[in-house]
């Protein structure tokens, strides 16, 4: 098993975000079951990677993150009231800013996802 690296800056960005709220996830799988794209990774494992600060694992799933339709079918069925679409928007915004160098007109004080609504 390969060692994983925790990115403390990424973990802090997730932990201090007002948009990201996946801590309540129970890993029940309802979100994956109702996803019209049948994206098994989303959001359970992906959000766990983000919470743990596993930036490399999150970035490996960039295509999946941007494939999400943001239809909120998963969110409407979530028994823990996790704001899945906002979490995906946060990750998209983080990737846009930190990986692709796009800031979408966001000031440094503005939350990641707020610039992408």
Q: Across the chain, what does the average pLDDT equal?
A: 85
36 pLDDT more than 60: yes
Q: Which pLDDT tens digit goes with each residue over 3-35?
A: 789 999 999 989 998 888 888 888 888 988 999
In a 3-state reduction of DSSP, which class is residue 104?
coil
Burial (CB < 10 A; 0-12, 13-18, 19+), residue 81, is exposed
Does residue 43 carry a pLDDT above 70? yes
Runs of H (alpha helix) within the chain: 8-15, 30-34, 44-51, 55-60, 62-67, 73-77, 84-98
Structure tokens at 109: 């004080």
Using pLDDT thresholds of 50, 70 and 90, give the confidence band for residue 106: low
pLDDT, residue 116, reads 46
The structural domains of the chain, with segments of one domain joined by +, span: 8-116
């Amino acid at each position: 098993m390969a060692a994983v690296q925790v990115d403390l800056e990424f973990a802090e960005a997730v932990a201090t975000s007002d948009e990201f709220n996946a801590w309540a996830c129970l890993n029940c799988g309802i979100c994956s079951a109702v996803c019209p794209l049948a994206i098994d990774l989303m959001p359970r494992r992906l959000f766990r990677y983000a919470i743990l600060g596993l930036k490399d694992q999150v970035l490996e799933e960039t295509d999946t993150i941007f494939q999400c339709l943001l239809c909120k079918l998963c969110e409407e069925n979530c028994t823990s009231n996790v704001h899945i679409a906002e979490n995906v928007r946060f990750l998209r915004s983080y990737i846009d800013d930190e990986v692709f160098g796009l800031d979408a007109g966001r000031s440094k004080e503005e939350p990641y996802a707020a610039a992408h609504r």
